[in-house]
Amino acid sequence: MGEDIGEHAVRFRILGSFECWDGPERVRVGGPVHEKVLVTLLLEPQRVLPVFRLVEAAWDENAPATAAHQVRKAVAELRQRIPDGRNLIVTEGPGYRALTTPEQVDLSRFTEGLKQAREATASGQTAYAATALREALDLWRGPLLSGSGGSVLSAASAALEERRLTAVEQLFDLRLAAGENGELIGELREFIEENPLRETLRGQLMLALFRSGRQAEALEEFAKVREFLVDELGIGPGDALTDLHHAILRNSPELAAPVQPAGPAPFTPEGSPSTLPYDLGDFTGREEEVRQLLGFVEDAPGTGPLIVAIDGMGGSGKTSLAVRAAHQLTDRYPDAQLHIDLRGFTPSEPPLGAGAAAEALLRMLGAPGERIPDDAEGRIALWRRTMSSRRMILLLDNAVDESQIRPLLASPTQTLVLVTSRSLLVDLDAAHTVSLGVMPPHDSVALVEGVLGSARARAEPEAVAQLAELCGHLPLALRIAAARLRKRPRWTVRYLVERLRDDAHRLAELNSGERSVEVTLRLSYEGLSAETREAFRLLGQHPGSEIEVYAAGALLDKRARDAEDVLEYLLDMHLLQQHETGRYAFHDLVRSFAQNLSRVSGRPAPGTEDGDVGADNEEAARAVRRLLDFALNATDTACDLLFPGRVRVHRPAHRSSAELPPLDTPDQARNWLEREQDSLLAAVSLAYRWELDSHVGLLAANVVFPLDLRGRLEEFRELCRTAVTASRRLGDPALLRLSLSNLAVACWKLGRFEEGIEMSEEAFGLAVELADRRGEAKDTGVLGLLLSALGRYDEALPRLEQSIAIKRELGAERAEAESLTSLSNLYAEWGRYPEAVEAAARAVTLARSIGAVDKEVESLTDLAVAQLGLGAVDEAADLLGRARKLAVDVMSPADMSLLLALSAEAADRLGENAQATEWAESALQLGDLSGAPMREAAVGNIVGRLHARRGRYALSLELHQRAHRAASGMGYRIEEARALAGMAHALEHLGELESARVHRATADRTFDAMGVPAGRTT
């Protein structure tokens, strides 16, 4: 919970007056609006806050008409003024998200401290709980923005103040339980003066007075509070305070302060013995951790043993760090420096008991055998007395858990106790914690260079960086890899990198003499219970980079809460990592180890030599099926919420009993799909490897929805191709038709029109064979869409009309709205605007009737295009405004770019120049449109025409040229012709008349071939 989060990290202090610090430098973020907006975002880090929430926080109910614009301007300026502000405050959907870590914001550290204190109190770690509360309360400097933030922030401050006072009361309880009494009276009176209605504080003051021998004053305090409550509220004290008053009147022995025990005379060693291992000459990196550890010593209060627990996965360099720090601190602890291996994770040896450890430590100090008691309790007692009288460093290395350590610690003492363990020692009272992760990339490279030699390392810098990556930046793995290279001077770094690329054999490569990454990991694994070992192996089947608790529950066949307990335990044992609450990840080498325990290759394979896993391949197969069934169930539920009226494919065999995440609202569904997109893609690949082809096709049909929404079109297409292959392998024509149809849509979005036509024609043929009328309607509509993009309107029109007729007959409102927008777009491109208006208006009505917001936005946009074609600019602007309000979170970045470009077109025609410029710039900057070539062409042409109207012909020419490259590359005829016409117009005004004439003639021929009339650039 300390303040130090790195010399150059940006930090925010919002508990009191607002402060922003970049290392030692104060950062000025701006005026009151800037501070209110930023503090509001920092109150809920990692959460998207819509602009209207920020407006409310900045102005309450007195927001000016330009409030939303001022908020956006303030955010833009915050991004400029705060170091790395663009990555710290990101735009998402309707608002902004602050991507701060808990260490960067004092409120986050305050909240984490209270949580740690609650957990420590519940598990009996009272000293640690008191320390956590003190550190949390030290962060408090007052209400948000010192009380000047307005009603919204004042309400948040009031809630925080209540949490602070509760924490103050908890700390007083702990201090009373620890025997403090008289020293608390003054502090308690100060808090009561500020908060006279807090009966808990009054009771604590009464108890402190009573235990200090001031019974009369305690009773007088009760009389005061009773009179105050009656005068102020018309009520008397509560039951708890009244019961305490009665107990004080009876002089009840239950109110007496706890008594501390005492012990025997210590052994006095001679000299200054040291058994520390040698400090590594090539020790690299970990400067921050060493600084943190030395800082604990500087700040030590001297009232008990200074305990620093260093935890981390096997091979992370815990012992090396502890030894490095111990050698730097020998002058502070001159009496002795002792190291003992507690053998918590040592091959073929049981952990060292406390009695045996005490005997070994006493012998290190030179205690003669006759002075050492025979019984374990006597040895421990003698060691503790000896320890309490010396200034020494005690390095307890390789501890298995807290129970192994606790008997060896005495209080009071001036000993520095350094403990290393692979598990997080959460129950070690009053311990500071240093948790080691992997090394930063530059330190990893430096470590390889230090072991291998700078000449060889610097000769292949790229290969060394790749080596560090393949070693997962784990110090043990890096040292082994570098040592192997040093022993083999003929090997290049690149050669070892290529050997390490084979994930199945990577652990075998990281083996050198007595040191082995696999052996190190196996020791941690074998320290688990049989049930947890099984869970670890099954979790290794998860295909994604992160595991959330509900997916883990499906894999482990447990409720989510029970699965989370398993994940948290593995996290404490450093067999899992966590970068975000509720989400867990394997280190790359740990994942390789987990998968090697029950290595499968597409199908269940024979067991490995591990006795635990030889019969587990079938269990792994069942776990994978449970995970895939869960993914199907969850994506079905989420997609039903987000895309009302869609067609769901029912396969009863894939029903799942696994607990689902909260998916009750569209926001929950959207957030879950956003977080899980990559894991869902990996799940499809997992299903394909296991030849669970039905899962491949069905899951892909759901996952394409969020991919489309986020504009990940190439992945959309590849996913559909995988589904087509799996469906052919399975021999399921219905699933094949669905997969081909989705692939055709992906091809349309990517401008691969001929490929899309081939896919949709095959899908249509299957639909006819299967008598699948819904499939016929879908595939006929997609075919019409593709033909329309090629400018073959005469062929496209009857297909779209046929598709709409079937969908209307089937009552498929969502599908009909979809085809109506395609028809409207065709008519608009063809110049038949009244018919385009009719089709789009019908689509708007249908989409709204079923609550399909995504389709309503598409329909409103197409209706606006048709109205622009008719010259009804006011109507078009109104429609586009409605579309923008609905578009948040339901449009891909590319589609939003088109909407903004059309909005700019309408605003420009209405003479709203500033607004038109803002939307035009946003349309071009919203995202990389190169992955959505149809939108790239359309947006470039629209904005190009806008600039031409303003006389910016060079910029107009550049945009039309870009649009032409995109359109001609895929055969998007209408935008190709529009780009040529726009280029001709710009070139004419730039004086390049011959080039303009050629482009104009080509455009006219293209328009004529499509039957598009005059006015075709609309």
The three-class DSSP label of residue 92 is strand
| 616/11: higher pLDDT | 11
19-22 and 25-26 strand pairing: antiparallel
| DSSP structure class, residue 276 | P
Over its C-alpha atoms, the chain yields an Rg (Å, rounded) of: 35
Torsion angles phi and psi, residue 181, rounded to 5: -140, -80
The three-class DSSP label of residue 601 is strand
SS3 of 805-846: the string is HHHHHHCCHHHHHHHHHHHHHHHHHHCCHHHHHHHHHHHHHH
Name the token pair of 666.
């569209």
Looking at residue 579, its pLDDT comes to 79
Distance between CA 1 and CA 794 in Å, rounded?
A: 70
In this model, does residue 1014 exceed pLDDT 90?
no
Q: Name residue, tokens 């990556």.
A: 469
Of 945, 1001, 943, 934, which Cα lies nearest the Cα of 974?
934
Q: What is the mean pLDDT of residues 228-232?
A: 84
Task: Give this prediction's pTM.
Answer: 0.67
pLDDT bucket at 654, cuts 50 / 70 / 90: confident
Torsion angles phi and psi, residue 167, rounded to 5: -65, -40
**Is residue 1012 left, alpha or beta, with left meaning phi > 0 and alpha meaning psi from -120 to 50?**
beta
| DSSP structure class, residue 60 | T
Q: Name residue, tokens 């007692």.
A: 381
SS3 of 372-405: the string is CCCCHHHHHHHHHHHHHCCCEEEEEEEECCHHHH
pLDDT bucket at 300, cuts 50 / 70 / 90: confident
Distance between CA 758 and CA 699 in Å, rounded?
A: 23
Looking at residue 402, its pLDDT comes to 81
- What are residue 512's DSSP bridge partners? 515
Looking at residue 8, its pLDDT comes to 45
Could you please report the per-residue DSSP string of 110-156?
HHHHHHHHHHHHHTT-HHHHHHHHHHHHHT--SSGGGGTS-HHHHHH
Name the token pair of 590.
């740990």
Looking at residue 735, its pLDDT comes to 95
In this model, does residue 263 exceed pLDDT 60?
no
Q: What is the mean pLDDT of residues 695-702?
A: 95
Task: Count how many residues are written for the chain.
Answer: 1018
Q: pLDDT tens digits for 725-746? A: 999 999 999 999 999 999 999 9
In this model, does residue 275 exceed pLDDT 70?
yes
Distance between CA 327 and CA 306 in Å, rounded?
A: 16
Q: pLDDT tens digits for 909-951? A: 999 999 999 999 989 887 677 788 999 999 999 999 999 999 9
Looking at residue 152, its pLDDT comes to 85
**Is residue 831 left, alpha or beta, with left meaning phi > 0 and alpha meaning psi from -120 to 50?**
left
- Give the rounded percent of residues in the chain with a pLDDT score beyond 70: 94
| 668 in Cβ contact with 541 (< 8 Å) | no
Q: How many CB atoms lie within 10 A of CB 87?
A: 10
Mean predicted lDDT score pLDDT of the chain:
87
Looking at residue 601, its pLDDT comes to 36
26 CB-near residues (< 8 Å, 6+ apart): 19, 20
Looking at residue 936, its pLDDT comes to 92
Q: What is the mean pLDDT of residues 635-664?
A: 87
Distance between CA 701 and CA 745 in Å, rounded?
A: 12
Distance between CA 542 and CA 634 in Å, rounded?
A: 16
pLDDT bucket at 267, cuts 50 / 70 / 90: low
Q: What count of Cα atoms within 13 Å lies in the side-chain half-sphere of residue 630?
A: 29
| 831 in Cβ contact with 1015 (< 8 Å) | yes
Distance between CA 404 and CA 398 in Å, rounded?
A: 10
Looking at residue 4, its pLDDT comes to 39
Looking at residue 213, its pLDDT comes to 82
- CA separation, residue 490 to residues 493, 496, 512, 632 (Å): 10, 11, 17, 52
Torsion angle, alpha carbons of 745, 747, 750, 755, to 10: -150
Q: What is the mean pLDDT of residues 636-659?
A: 85
| DSSP structure class, residue 992 | -
Name the token pair of 223.
């009389």
Looking at residue 198, its pLDDT comes to 87
Distance between CA 917 and CA 928 in Å, rounded?
A: 19
Distance between CA 394 and CA 362 in Å, rounded?
A: 12
Of 753, 756, 757, which Cα lies nearest the Cα of 720?
756
Looking at residue 714, its pLDDT comes to 92
Looking at residue 525, its pLDDT comes to 87
pLDDT bucket at 303, cuts 50 / 70 / 90: low
Q: pLDDT tens digits for 453-509? A: 888 988 999 999 999 999 988 989 998 999 889 888 899 999 999 999 888 788 888
Looking at residue 492, its pLDDT comes to 92
25-26 and 547-548 strand pairing: unpaired
The distance of Cα 645 from the centroid of its chain, to the nearest Å, equals: 31
The distance of Cα 461 from the centroid of its chain, to the nearest Å, equals: 31
Distance between CA 168 and CA 394 in Å, rounded?
A: 34
Q: pLDDT tens digits for 962-971? A: 999 999 999 9
Q: What is the mean pLDDT of residues 748-762?
A: 95
pLDDT-wise least confident of 112-121, 168-177, 603-612: 603-612
pLDDT bucket at 953, cuts 50 / 70 / 90: very high
The three-class DSSP label of residue 528 is coil
Distance between CA 922 and CA 932 in Å, rounded?
A: 16
Name the token pair of 664.
């009750």
Looking at residue 639, its pLDDT comes to 93
Distance between CA 288 and CA 965 in Å, rounded?
A: 51
Could you please report the per-residue DSSP string of 536-549?
HHHHTT--SSSEEH
pLDDT-wise least confident of 349-353, 867-871, 963-967, 983-987: 349-353
The distance of Cα 194 from the centroid of its chain, to the nearest Å, equals: 40
pLDDT bucket at 429, cuts 50 / 70 / 90: low
Element (H, E) at 327: helix 318-328
Q: How many CB atoms lie within 10 A of CB 601?
A: 9
| 109 in Cβ contact with 139 (< 8 Å) | yes
Name the token pair of 1011.
């039957």
Looking at residue 68, its pLDDT comes to 85
- Give the rounded percent of residues in the chain with a pLDDT score beyond 90: 44
pLDDT-wise least confident of 163-172, 215-224, 341-350, 789-798: 341-350
Q: Name residue, tokens 């806008």.
A: 946
Looking at residue 616, its pLDDT comes to 55
Looking at residue 610, its pLDDT comes to 40
| 657/782: higher pLDDT | 782
The distance of Cα 80 from the centroid of its chain, to the nearest Å, equals: 24
pLDDT bucket at 660, cuts 50 / 70 / 90: very high
Looking at residue 145, its pLDDT comes to 84
| 606/972: higher pLDDT | 972
Of 92, 174, 64, 160, which Cα lies nearest the Cα of 127?
174
| 649 in Cβ contact with 623 (< 8 Å) | no
- CA separation, residue 371 to residues 379, 392, 408, 739 (Å): 9, 21, 18, 81
pLDDT bucket at 817, cuts 50 / 70 / 90: very high
Looking at residue 269, its pLDDT comes to 67
Question: Any idea what the Cα angle at residue 497 is, between residues 493 and 502, rounded to 5°?
Answer: 160
First CA to last CA across the chain, in angstroms? Answer: 61
Q: What is the mean pLDDT of residues 219-227?
A: 88
